[in-house]
Structures are given as C-alpha cells and as structure tokens.
Amino acid sequence: QTATDPAIVRDLRGSGRAIGAFNAIMLEHAEAVVAGAEDAGLPVILQISQNAVRYHGSLAPFAAACQRLAEAATVPVIVHLDHAEDETLIHQAVDLGIRSVMFDAATLPYADNVARTRAVVAHCHAAGCWVEAELGEVGGKDGAHAPGVRTDPAQAAAFVTATGVDALAVAVGSSHAMNSRDAVLDDDLIARLRQAVPVPLVLHGSSGVPEDGLRRAVAHGITKVNVGTLLNRALTGEVRAVLADHAGLTDPRKYLAPGRDAVRAEVTRTLRLLARPR
Ligand code: G3H
Ligand code: ZN
C-alpha cells in the first residue's frame, strides 16, 4: 500500500520534478494511463472527475476498475477523485477505498470555501485520505482556472493553515479544456506561491500549456500536473483518422485500440517531461 500512497506527491515537493495526474473517462483511458506510466517506469495519478462520475451515473463500477488496474500495475498508481464539489461523493469515494481526493469549492466565497474544505479534511484525514483543494482569486467567484484569475500567496498560505489540506490547486494562468497549447503561466507567481505554501502545488488545465511552459512551471515549484484534454485530443484524433479511412467499421475495438495507444504514448511523453524537466 505504501507504494501507492499519496505521500509520493508530498515527497516530490521541492525536488524540481512533478507527477502527472491524468483524467480517465472510460476504461480505455485508465488502461492507457497505467500502461503509459509503466512504459515510462514512473508513478502516476489516475483521476476520476465528478463530471466522469456524472457521465457513468455512479462512481463505484469505474472506481473499482481503476483500483484493480492500479493494484496490478508495475509502477505506483494513485487513484484520485478529481474536482468533487459534492461532499457526499467524497464520502462515497473514501468508503470505496480511494485515498486521494480533490474538493473543489473555489467558486464559493472564501469563508465558505475554508469552512467546507476544513470539514472535508477532517472526514478524509480520519480515514487516511489525502485532500487537494483549490483557491482562485481573492473574492472567489471565477474558480481557479479562468485565464485571468490569480491566487494570492498570502491568502494561499492562510488557506492551507486554516484547512489543513495536503495539496493546493492554484490559479497561475492556465484554464481548463483548451484546444491549443498557448497558455502563458506566471512563473514568478508560481515561485512566490511555492515559498509561501508548505504543501505541493497543483496545476490544472495543463493541456493548454506548451511543453516548455510545463518545464518552467515544474522548475518554479509545481508538483502535480493535471492533464485531461490533451489525452482526449490524442484519442479522438486517432479514432477520427481510423474511421475516416475505414468508413464501414463496426467493431469499436478496431478504432478504440489505436485511440488507446495514442493516449498511452501521450502519457509516457508527459510523465518523462515532468520527471526530467530540464
Ligand atoms: O483536473 C483536471 C485538469 O485540470 C484537466 O484540465 O483538461 O485542460 O488538461 P485539461
Ligand atoms: Zn482541473
């Protein structure tokens, strides 16, 4: 169990390296994330978001599949519940044996974010579960991942002290679900946050950040890099190409297998970049 303990993330803080955290929607994503990490010989975080749970209608079946894949992997695989806005879902995840969750209350007013995150931390820590939370702009509202939003280092430090979270998602210039890699991150702010905050910093919306930007973000103090859209670009691009060449295809394995291979290659490439950013 220690091999897949989220303490891996804590121990990376300050190392100049980061771990990749990849969002899985379908079993093929999860298989590709684990296989890609095995190809790289590196630990990985396999994330299920609340949106993915909504898509499936419940957490348990997909979580069980991810947990079995993690147990069978030849590298450490941490199964993580991502962007949970609902405490009930977090309690369910803990009951299912998930040991790493993100509680996302960044769109709430600061005092509400603190109060609800604190309660989640108390519940999760009692069960040995690691908690990531998110802090957007002073004054809240836009969450952490609109392009213009920035996290204030002093407020971030106060938030971590007040809530006891194990990791903090910060707003430093990225935004979710970008289809091109042209986000410009505020490296100086990342460095100031890293000085101010005693827990690992998490970058969301990393698909919009060019590879050099990711290297610099890690060098300046980002420890966990969340990637979703990049994998879906690879998967859907491959599926589209196969179907364009073979209009009569019916068996989904014929297009999902190349899609899964494309995701696997992207995971390996990204993990290597994060583990050796210079
Ligand atoms: O929590 C998940 C990530 O922030 C994914 O963002 O789809 O823009 O890479 P992305
Ligand atoms: Zn995110």
**Which domains are seen in the chain, by residue range?**
2-275 (3.20.20.70)
125 known member of a binding site: no
First-last CA distance in the chain: 31
Q: Is 169's pLDDT higher than 70?
A: yes
Give the tens place of pLDDT for each residue, 57-94.
999 999 999 999 999 999 999 999 999 999 999 999 99
204 known member of a binding site: yes
Q: How far is the CA of 21 from the centre of ligand 2 (A)?
A: 10
- Substitution candidate for ligand 1 out of 45, 206, 236 with most atoms within 8 A of CB: 206
Give the tens place of pLDDT for each residue, 253-278.
999 999 999 999 999 999 999 998 76
Which ligand gives the minimal distance to the CA of 270? 1
Over the range 46-82, which residues count as b (16 or more CB within 10 Å of their CB) and which as e? bbbbbebbeeeeebeebbebbbebbeebebbbbbbbb
Q: How far is the CA of 39 from the centre of ligand 1 (A)?
A: 22
Q: How far is the CA of 250 from the centre of ligand 1 (A)?
A: 31
Which ligand gives the minimal distance to the CA of 174? 1
Ligand 1 atom closest to 229 (CA): 7
Give the tens place of pLDDT for each residue, 14-72.
999 999 999 999 999 999 999 999 999 999 999 999 999 999 999 999 999 999 999 99
134 known member of a binding site: yes
Give the tens place of pLDDT for each residue, 110-146.
999 999 999 999 999 999 999 999 998 665 556 666 7
Ligand 1 atom closest to 207 (CA): 9
pTM: 0.96
Residue 261 among the catalytic residues = no
pLDDT at 260: 99
Whether the CB of 83 sits within 6 Å of ligand 1: yes
Whether the CB of 228 sits within 6 Å of ligand 1: yes
| 6-11: average pLDDT | 92
261 known member of a binding site: no
